[in-house]
Structure 1
Amino acid sequence: MKKLIISALLSWSLAGWYATAANRVAFDAEAVLPSTEQPVDVSFQAVTWRHDTLIASGMGGGIFASSDNGISWRQLPAPPDSDTLQFRDNQLLNNDRLVLMSAGEGVSSGVFISDDFGLSWRRVATGNSETTFYDCFYMLDEQQGWLYGDADEQGLFVLHTGDGALSWQRMALPLAAQPGEGGFASSGTCLNSLSAEPGVIIGTGNGANSRLIVNRQGQWRAIESPISGGEAGGIFSVQSTPDTIYVSGGSLKHAEHPAQMWRYAVSQQRWHALPQLPMKGAVYGSALLSTASGLSIWVSNPQGVWYLPAEANSWQQVSRSNIWSLACKDRVGCVGVGKNGTIERYLPKA
């Protein structure tokens, strides 16, 4: 692989920082679930946002929906016999088709679809060997979608659908897999869309090096990441804007080390460091939020939730809850979900 070109942007102009600090948006955390009125016996591992609707999913076949931007939630019927499954990724399409992905070894990995908000389900994909392990997926639109899983003896594991998630086919990538290379099913964000053009980005881990795998206009490319790989280490979550890809992760094996986040400037083809994260181990989930003062970057793990305001040089903690996955809606705020049925909203302070 080509040697990394890393440009560490560890400082910002103090004059610019003080000039914009007064205009930055600060956030408050608001716990929605669990509550004494609606206890939830599920640990959430994924949350997604479409228009005013949020879908949260996780262990024990738990699926919850909100149609009012996260204020109130209701439980949806789960696929039959799914009590032992972990729904680690989900997405509601614009045609109201709900797509769920379960993660686990072999047949514990699967894709399920419902066109009536859980009243009926179809299982449309199943792990076909003992080594199969689905990690995350993303539907680019109502028809096209991609799914990433741990590599096997055939190489990198990528599935594609072109018919609205009804059927999935394995793709032969022109890239070799590293021994042990795979992904992390921690938040449903190890695969995401490539902003501003048709394509996808995938973050990998567990190999000798973590990599960013990019499908841009049908062409596949692997970019070595500055986040260390190895056992239980690498990229956990990816996000993008038109010219920037954000990767975050770290190491579960070296939980005493700081978690990591970097940005890749697409036009420059260079990595740039972000301010050091205050969390340890690894980032589980990430999200981007556009506010009146610019783009803020959000990260979470069992230690809590932090965000980096636009043009700032330090992270702000907004929650100490065990949060695995985040979703944000521009000009509104963010929602985090996690262990013991926790759902929180992060809204601009009044």
Structure 2
Amino acid sequence: MAAGVCGVALAALAAVPAQAHAPAHRSWHWAPKDTGLPEARLRGLSAVGRDTAWVSGTGGTVLRTIDGGASWRNVSPPGAADLQFRDIEAFDARRAVVLAIGEGEASRVYRTDDGGTTWTESFRNTDAKAFYDCLTFFDHRHGLAMSDPVDGKFRILSTGDGGRTWKVLPSDGMPAALDGEAGFAASGQCLVASGPRDVWLATGGGARARVLHSADRGLTWTAADTPIPADDPARGVFALAFRDRTHGLAVGGDYRADQPSPQAAARTSDGGRTWQSTTASPPAYRSGVTWLPHSRTAALAVGPTGTDLTTDGGRTWRTVDTGSYDTVDCAPDLGCWAAGETGRVARLEN
């Protein structure tokens, strides 16, 4: 699992500022960080920096480190052991918002302002038809969460006070969902934002794998097809990453281990209006993706069978590690983290 991830890999980091201390010639790798919770599958991840990260997952688990993964504090909300926290968004070492997924009242949002010492439940879904998958924030105040389609359209939840209160947005500006279309709560990356107003939503399960885009914080949306295969409940786009409002990456495939995932990645350079196939795709299903900080061309994608790297903006990918991870995230100071099954968390190190 700690095989070299980036020897040549992070040549794209040659443009990183000197204070980031990431010379391109160094060999980078995933360094495991023991969480002490092998029973938890950690699909939620928020990288605050090289020292601070939050992870969340099964069994109502929320963990936080402030020493680069040397130690982890279990800050799980009380009474949440039956919940699955599939997404977490942290603003710093003290403030975070976590999403529990599931049908009906299993979908909930909690917020902490004291590093997880106490939590406040700020939203509990009461619509039996709704199933929330992911959340994202534009800044410390404004954020969205998304649910699988309700009455034929994806449902969007909005906050303007950092996740303390939430409201369902009108569905007038949301295009109709395809038959069987839904989001995948696999890595907390089926809903992502870039900048103050742009947000993208990833789908699968329908006849086509689509990405929906809103330029007004979720009020109106447009849909675009991707070349990633769908037409099956297990296939589609699982994760998105945008380095700005125009350049984005999509990864996915078929999450079943015994099924192939051809064309498991796509890219866009026009804000998601159109998506292009990759020349060399990841060889298998990928559930998480992130751009490397301060790079215009380098990104990592992760999944149960490995980590893939692109150094040309998503045109080609190559496998650089075979460890199992579900999600990946990077902070501006080059604090890149990955998390997944059996309580596994790792940080990118040289």
TM category (shorter chain) comes to 0.7 to 0.9
Deviation, structure 1 residue 28: 1.7
Q: Structure 1's 153 and 244: CA in aligned 2 closer, same or farther, altered over 3 A?
A: same
Deviation, structure 1 residue 336: 0.9
Amino acid at match of 1:121: W
Larger displacement relative to structure 2 (196-205 or 312-321): 312-321
Q: Structure 1's 76 and 95: CA in aligned 2 closer, same or farther, altered over 3 A?
A: closer
Q: Helix, strand or coil: the match of 1:107?
A: helix
More strand by proportion, 1 or 2?
1
Amino acid at match of 2:210: R
Deviation, structure 1 residue 57: 0.7
C-alpha distance in structure 1 between counterparts of 2:298 and 2:139, whole Å: 25
Write out aligned runs for 1:11-160 (5 A): 26-33=27-34, 38=36, 40-51=38-49, 52-68=51-67, 70-94=68-92, 96-153=94-151, 155-160=153-158
Q: Structure 1's 26 and 223: CA in aligned 2 closer, same or farther, altered over 3 A?
A: farther
Amino acid at match of 2:346: E
The answer to whether the 8 Å contact 1:29/1:318 transfers is no
Q: Structure 1's 278 and 141: CA in aligned 2 closer, same or farther, altered over 3 A?
A: closer
Q: Deviations over 1:150-179 (max 9, x none)?
A: 112252111111122122111223211222
C-alpha distance in structure 2 between counterparts of 1:268 and 1:154, whole Å: 22
- Matched with 2:329 is 327
The alignment's C-alpha RMSD in Å is: 2.7
- Matched with 2:193 is 193
Q: Helix, strand or coil: the match of 2:268?
A: strand
Q: Structure 1's 24 and 201: CA in aligned 2 closer, same or farther, altered over 3 A?
A: farther
Relative to the length of structure 1, the TM-score reads 0.83
The answer to whether the 8 Å contact 1:179/1:207 transfers is yes
C-alpha distance in structure 1 between counterparts of 2:238 and 2:281, whole Å: 15
C-alpha distance in structure 2 between counterparts of 1:147 and 1:276, whole Å: 32
Deviation, structure 1 residue 246: 1.2
C-alpha distance in structure 2 between counterparts of 1:217 and 1:127, whole Å: 24
Q: Helix, strand or coil: the match of 1:226?
A: coil
Deviation, structure 1 residue 149: 1.4
Q: Structure 1's 143 and 320: CA in aligned 2 closer, same or farther, altered over 3 A?
A: same
- Matched with 1:265 is 269
Of the three residues 219, 236, 239, the one matched with 1:237 is 239
Write out aligned runs for 1:153-302 (5 A): 153=151, 155-173=153-171, 174=173, 175-194=175-194, 196-217=195-216, 219-230=220-231, 231-242=233-244, 243-252=246-255, 255-258=259-262, 260-266=264-270, 269-280=273-284, 282-290=285-293, 295-302=297-304
Q: Deviations over 1:280-300 (max 9, x none)?
A: 2x2111111036x75311111
Deviation, structure 1 residue 216: 0.9
Deviation, structure 1 residue 39: 5.1
Q: Helix, strand or coil: the match of 2:141?
A: coil
C-alpha distance in structure 1 between counterparts of 2:216 and 2:58, whole Å: 36
Amino acid at match of 1:321: G
Q: Helix, strand or coil: the match of 1:104?
A: strand
Structure 2 unaligned spans of 5+: 1-10, 15-23
Q: Helix, strand or coil: the match of 1:128?
A: coil
Amino acid at match of 1:80: P
The answer to whether the 8 Å contact 1:183/1:236 transfers is yes
Deviation, structure 1 residue 33: 2.0
Aligned sequence identity (%) = 26
Of the three residues 332, 335, 339, the one matched with 2:341 is 339
Aligned residues: 322
C-alpha distance in structure 2 between counterparts of 1:97 and 1:206, whole Å: 34
Q: Structure 1's 44 and 273: CA in aligned 2 closer, same or farther, altered over 3 A?
A: same
The answer to whether the 8 Å contact 1:289/1:333 transfers is no
Relative to the length of structure 2, the TM-score reads 0.83
The answer to whether the 8 Å contact 1:62/1:75 transfers is no
The answer to whether the 8 Å contact 2:158/2:166 transfers is yes
Q: Structure 1's 279 and 331: CA in aligned 2 closer, same or farther, altered over 3 A?
A: farther
Deviation, structure 1 residue 319: 2.9
Structure 1 unaligned spans of 5+: 1-16
The answer to whether the 8 Å contact 1:101/1:110 transfers is yes
Deviation, structure 1 residue 310: 4.1
